[in-house]
Structure 1
Amino acid sequence: MFPGMPKLALFPRMRFTRQVLLLQIGVVVLVVGLGVALVAWLLRTTLTEQYGERALAIAKSVAADPVVIAGAAARQQGGPLQTRAQAVTKANEVLFVVITDDQGIRLAHPDPGSIGDRVSTSAKEALSGQDVVSAVQEGTLGLSVRSKTPIEQGDRVVGEVSVGFTVTELTGDVNRLIELTSLFAGGALLLGAGASALLNRRLRRVTHGLEPQELTELLYEREAVLHGIGEGVLALDAQQRVTVRNDEAERLLGTALPVGTPLAELDLSPRLQMAVAEGVPVDNLLAVAGNRVLVINSRAVRREERPLGTVLTFRDRTDLDTLTRELDGIRSLSDGLRAQRHEFANRLHTLSGLLQLGHHAEAEEYLQTLTETTGARAEPPGDQIADPYLRALLAAKSEQAQEKGMELRLADDSWVPAAVTDPVAAGTVIGNLVDNALHAARLGPRRPAAVEIGLLADGDTLHVSVVDSGPGVPEPLREKLFDEGVSTKLAPGHGLGLALARQAARAHDGEVWLADPGGGASGALFVAKLPGLLSTLEVP
């Protein structure tokens, strides 16, 4: 390789799917080859044993012949023994039948010239009275599979018979069996290679032709994108099971989102559940999760007209809603100040005109009237409420009610001597209940429009009751009044106040409910129970 030249220039990297295919084919070839070798060995061993057993059976039949026993005992060379040996050799198509005396001297042999010589292979075991089976030995007639058995006359061994088959015959049988086995092995090899090719094709289709390193990079990119953005992401499969989610989604929804869990089993907003169940794209849907207001967008994912699932994104709109409410309050205050400025200017002009015309008595009477009118301001809560947060909240709501020509009263039996431990939760519950009551009272037929709020401490539990002079809650809305998006207001973006109030109460193991829908002699009555929201010590 030349210096500085990259290795891939000369040896391009092979695709992973091709590597898998070659590896699978190699494994199949190796397994088939080992299988054929094992079968060949087993076949050769089995055939060798079979030829040995056959040779032993022939040898025993010869050794049991009385003529052979008598000839071996008399050590007669040739003659009847040679005739018998040649007849058995021809009849059984064996390589040789050799008969010896008790000293290993040949009495019968296929080669008459070898009669009288000592056998070329050991006859010790046979002459000691033992059978020799399947011995592959090299003799004067060549390599053969032979078996030997003793010739016994009474209790005395008088000789031995040796019968052998040529190895060439054994090898031919083995080769024929191996050829047949090889045909099956070849078919198995082709089948394995075809299955490997199909598996390789399936792998390419499942991975869309991507290499492992590309899949790894996609995984890293997905994790970086999921956990690097400021929005919550939740992906569901076609059966609405969680497949992908990031930490921001779990934080915003306030619950764990284990992968593989059906969406219906998760404690999520009913609005979110309905948005996914309908299967249609959703844009900027407002939903409540804990004390948060979330903006939800969902999109159905399809590939080749096959539904793959749904992807949802979440944005936290709680801070935006807080700023919006503060801006509305500032705008209302600005409008009020502007109106007061115009009114004050008009009064000054009137007073200036009276003084210029010399009507001093009328001017003094006019000033007295202005003083009395200006003093009719909203009264702050008395000593019934000790907590500064509650006092400030009630004072602000009283000012707001007075600006709209309504009255916000504190019930006579209200009594909260302790401090609030969670001002945000108290403000969420009380503020939303009072805002809804003021809206209902303003739309109601009764005048003057009024709202009465009752606050009562019971240990560390704060009880809240809010009743208005409005028309009451309509029958169709009573069962679903606390659901997200349910509101009597016509403008969009409403229907979250009561849901937020209930979520904040339940976060403290409390509850908010409609105690009396009203409609006849009075308006609706809402009640809240907030355990653990008060300190056990009184405010000094």
Structure 2
Amino acid sequence: MPKWALFPRMRFTRQVLLLQIGVVVLVVGLGVALVSSLLRSVLTEQYGERALAIARSVAADPVVVAGAAARRQGGPLEVRAQAVTASTNALFVVITDDKQIRLAHPTPSEVGKQVSTRADDALAGKEVVSAVQRGTLGVSVRSKVPIWQGKRVVGEVSVGFEVAALTGEVNQLIVLTSVFAAGALLLGAGASALLNRRLRRVTHGLEPHELTELLYEREAVLHGIGEGVLAVDAQQRVTVRNDEAERLLGTPLAVGTPLAELDLSPRVRKAVAEGLPVDNLLAVAGDRVLVVNSRAVRREERPLGTVLTFRDRTDLDTLTRELDGIRSLSDGLRAQRHEFANRLHTLSGLLQLGHHAEAEEYLQTLTETTGARAEPPGEQVADPYLQALLVAKSEQAQEKGMELRLSDDTLVLAAVTDPVAAGTVIGNLVDNALHAARMGPRRPAAVELGLLADGTTLHVSVVDSGPGVPESLRDKLFDEGVSTKLAPGHGLGLALARHAARAHGGDVWLADPGGGATGALFVAKLPGLLSGPAS
């Protein structure tokens, strides 16, 4: 059972307050008790030392020494003892002989009797200091001193002070100490109350079990959703993140790390820096295309930070490209079916009309033009993935009335180790080149693709017949969102291609912006993308 369940009706902050006050009371009480004990001990020692000094002075008096040696009771000894008692406010001054018989006592009837408290140590030549004993006059703090005559002990002097006087002084000091203790208690209680108030304000009045439940719920939500979540504070330091965010961004997101030290997309940094709401922003992270949403968080007009969510659009883009390829293939097959049907109808009509020579000539013409369709690249490219990609792009170019051809020096006899990276780089470069060629003034529109293997490194070059890259875009061509296309959602292809190439230790760059006799020339270097010769 949790500790807070022991007090189900009492708030945790109140429990803390009562506990703190209880601790303060206990500490103050123990302090007062300790001080009282020390005060009593000190005062007892002081009274004992005072009694010892008086007893020494009396024991050194020649009259007392002579009277004790002669065992004379009363008389001068009684006078001396009463005078010292009156002058020192002592409870008693008692003089005895070496047989412990009283020679002087405040009560005359006690003279000549045996002392009530033994004085063996004093008669043995030792001084007794601060002894609390009960005698005929009550409990007192007393000291005893031997009376020497030469080298012989002839008696002893006992001086005592009433314990009530000691107790009175102790009580006065305890009262004074208690006043300070009460002040300390009030101060401690006040500090505890302020701390309790501060605790309520910091926790917004939530109980510990409620805070625990909130923590569990936060962890469940953060790590249970399929989106990446990243929260930064007002100083742009990471405060909250989940595993999905680290996976999508491809970088560790340690709590407390400044956003500037993370390898994030410029678009993401800009979204956080501006503090404006962002919806469905496309950004590149590694080889992924992410959809980013951003919201600034405020509380009572005070900025608390920014929360970003990430969704992976890479799979969706892959499916979209595959669907486009299938659609293009379907359209091509449909066009071929219609074309084939039209040719059959024409041939059937010629035969029905008896124009056999014309039908034979028509068949010969169809046989010669059938090879115009896109064919596999043959022995120049051996990898099946590259062959399929080139056939698909060639069909796509033909559909748009353009030509995609391989350069004369193209030669790749090795197998591709990462078809996805190869498709990302080559596919995006060819797509951009086809678009540029179609939008350019030169006809026929064409794109030339060069592929060359150098060990395990694949070199790619793509040149189009378009107008070239405008000078205003050359320095930022590979930035996210930069595109010559007017439709929204573009500007990610080149950025993705560069990220994929750099992930393999290579790069993609603009070798020639074009604009003269040819269009732009893009070059890519992909180390480690090839293995041994394809079988």
Q: TM-score surpassing 0.5?
A: yes
> Cα gap change, 1:532/1:12 in structure 2, threshold over 3 Å: closer, same or farther?
closer
1:320 to 299, 316, 322: 316
- The Cα of 1:359 is off from its aligned counterpart by 6.0
1:490 to 483, 486, 490: 486
**Taking structure 1 as the reference length, what is the TM-score of the superposition?**
0.93
| Unaligned residue ranges in structure 2 (runs of 5+) | none
Q: Deviations over 1:123-169 (max 9, x none)?
A: 11111222211111101110011111122222222221111111111
Q: One-letter code of the match for 2:534?
A: V
Aligned equivalents of 1:269, 1:507: Cα separation in 2: 15
Q: Indicate whether 1:97 and 2:82 are aligned.
A: no
Aligned equivalents of 1:503, 1:215: Cα separation in 2: 43
- 1:251-400 maps to which residues of 2 (within 5 A)? 251-340=247-336, 365-400=361-396
- The Cα of 1:327 is off from its aligned counterpart by 2.5
Q: Deviations over 1:8-65 (max 9, x none)?
A: 9998532222211111111111111111101111111111111111111111121222
| Unaligned residue ranges in structure 1 (runs of 5+) | 1-7
Q: Indicate whether 1:539 and 2:505 are aligned.
A: no
Question: Which segment drifts farther, 329-338 or 457-466?
Answer: 329-338
Q: Which residue of 2 aligns with 1:4?
A: none
Q: Which residue of 2 aligns with 1:65?
A: 61
1:119 to 101, 111, 115: 115
Q: Which residue of 2 aligns with 1:32?
A: 28
- The Cα of 1:296 is off from its aligned counterpart by 1.0
- 1:214-253 maps to which residues of 2 (within 5 A)? 214-253=210-249
- The Cα of 1:363 is off from its aligned counterpart by 5.5
Q: Which residue of 2 aligns with 1:41?
A: 37
Q: Indicate whether 1:440 and 2:436 are aligned.
A: yes
Q: Which residue of 1 aligns with 2:105?
A: 109
Q: One-letter code of the match for 1:110?
A: P
Aligned equivalents of 1:340, 1:409: Cα separation in 2: 21
> Cα gap change, 1:10/1:187 in structure 2, threshold over 3 Å: closer, same or farther?
closer
Q: Deviations over 1:303-354 (max 9, x none)?
A: 2112222211111111111122222233334444455555556656666666
Q: One-letter code of the match for 1:222?
A: R
Aligned equivalents of 1:267, 1:27: Cα separation in 2: 52
Question: Which segment drifts farther, 332-341 or 205-214?
Answer: 332-341
> Cα gap change, 1:10/1:275 in structure 2, threshold over 3 Å: closer, same or farther?
closer
Aligned equivalents of 1:505, 1:93: Cα separation in 2: 106
**Taking structure 2 as the reference length, what is the TM-score of the superposition?**
0.94
Aligned equivalents of 2:526, 2:432: Cα separation in 1: 19
- The Cα of 1:178 is off from its aligned counterpart by 0.5
Q: Indicate whether 1:129 and 2:125 are aligned.
A: yes
- The Cα of 1:445 is off from its aligned counterpart by 2.6
Q: Which residue of 2 aligns with 1:177?
A: 173
Aligned equivalents of 1:12, 1:278: Cα separation in 2: 48
Q: Which residue of 2 aligns with 1:509?
A: 505
Q: Which residue of 1 aligns with 2:445?
A: 449
Q: One-letter code of the match for 2:65?
A: I
- The Cα of 1:290 is off from its aligned counterpart by 2.0
Report SS of the residue matched to 2:125: coil
Q: One-letter code of the match for 1:90?
A: A
Q: Deviations over 1:389-415 (max 9, x none)?
A: 111111211121122222222121121
Identity, % of aligned pairs? Answer: 86
Aligned equivalents of 2:337, 2:490: Cα separation in 1: 33
Paired residue total: 532
2:401 to 405, 408, 414: 405
Q: Which residue of 1 aligns with 2:459?
A: 463
Question: Which segment drifts farther, 139-148 or 320-329?
Answer: 320-329
Check the 8 A contact 2:146/2:155 in 1, yes or no.
Answer: yes
Q: One-letter code of the match for 1:180?
A: L
Q: Indicate whether 1:53 and 2:53 are aligned.
A: no
Q: Which residue of 1 aligns with 2:141?
A: 145
Q: Which residue of 2 aligns with 1:190?
A: 186
Q: Which residue of 2 aligns with 1:199?
A: 195
- The Cα of 1:459 is off from its aligned counterpart by 1.3
> Cα gap change, 1:248/1:242 in structure 2, threshold over 3 Å: closer, same or farther?
same
- The Cα of 1:241 is off from its aligned counterpart by 2.1
Question: Which segment drifts farther, 75-84 or 521-530?
Answer: 521-530
Q: Indicate whether 1:473 and 2:508 are aligned.
A: no
Report SS of the residue matched to 1:425: helix
2:80 to 68, 84, 96: 84
Q: Deviations over 1:396-451 (max 9, x none)?
A: 11121122222222121121111111111111111111111111222223222222
Aligned equivalents of 1:338, 1:385: Cα separation in 2: 29
Give the CA RMSD over aligned residues: 2.3
Report SS of the residue matched to 1:383: helix
Check the 8 A contact 2:325/2:392 in 1, yes or no.
Answer: no
- The Cα of 1:362 is off from its aligned counterpart by 5.3
Report SS of the residue matched to 2:380: coil
Question: Which segment drifts farther, 393-402 or 178-187?
Answer: 393-402
